Chains A and B, each alone.
Chain A
Amino acid sequence: EAQVTQNPRYLITVTGKKLTVTCSQNMNHEYMSWYRQDPGLGLRQIYYSMNVEVTDKGDVPEGYKVSRKEKRNFPLILESPSPNQTSLYFCASSSGGTLAKNIQYFGAGTRLSVL
């Protein structure tokens, strides 16, 4: 089954404790992206990657890191989480291409609370 898998689904942590949210896709997609969703703000892009070893900042990259060492995986790293990073996070992937439809398929989301 084609899917984007995020782990964990729920996470409660404390300020300053490094964490990683994993994202994996089995569709051989080139493009992967991370979003955060906050009430009243919709989804905002954090980082995206057009291929292995190619990453770019989205709208709200501060406080986050990503890496793309393999095509299927795109982990999101919070080196020193703060309470304002409490949010619902989505990973997405698509086949990529500038003129292509580039329909993104989303993971189920990770709800993160930073105390």
Chain B
Amino acid sequence: AQKITQTQPGMFVQEKEAVTLDCTYDTSDPSYGLFWYKQPSSGEMIFLIYQGSYDQQNATEGRYSLNFQKARKSANLVISASQLGDSAMYFCAMREGHNQFYFGTGTSLTVIP
């Protein structure tokens, strides 16, 4: 079974609109961490946001928020007020147990002017 599933290979959003990128995960470990990374066309991996399995509140970092639904094992990324510079590949990732990491296959986001 896939540890991290991203079901949206590609997404489009109008500039200034909000967009949600989906991520579901699979683990039986009670202690885990969830991450989102952005990979622009230049190739670097940029950390966006983190959610711990014991965190009671959804994480937020500026225009990024993580919609954490533990019972559903989902950790969707919400980007508010999309900008042209948000066009990139987005990866959801999970740290499980003693520091083994799993990444999803990514979602390519295109922001339309």
Contact B44 A48 (CB under 8 A): no
Indicate whether B28 reaches chain A with its CB closer than 8 angstroms.
no
A-contacting 9-mer, from B14-22, B45-53, B71-79: B45-53
Query: Interface residues, chain A, CB within 8 Å of chain B?
Result: 31, 33, 35, 40-45, 48, 50, 56, 58-59, 88, 90, 92, 96, 98-99, 101-106, 108-109
Query: Interface residues, chain B, CB within 8 Å of chain A?
Result: 4, 6, 31, 33, 35, 37, 43-45, 47, 50, 52, 91, 93, 95, 97-106
Taking a contact as CB atoms closer than 8 A, the residue among A48, A56, A99, A106 that contacts B45 in the complex is A106
Report Cα–Cα, A105/B99, bound state, in Å: 14
Contact B43 A88 (CB under 8 A): yes
Contact A50 B99 (CB under 8 A): yes
B95 partner residues in chain A, CB cutoff 8 A:
102
Residue contacts A-B, CB under 8 angstroms, 14 given: A31-B99, A42-B4, A42-B105, A43-B91, A45-B101, A45-B103, A56-B98, A96-B99, A98-B99, A99-B52, A101-B33, A106-B45, A108-B44, A109-B43
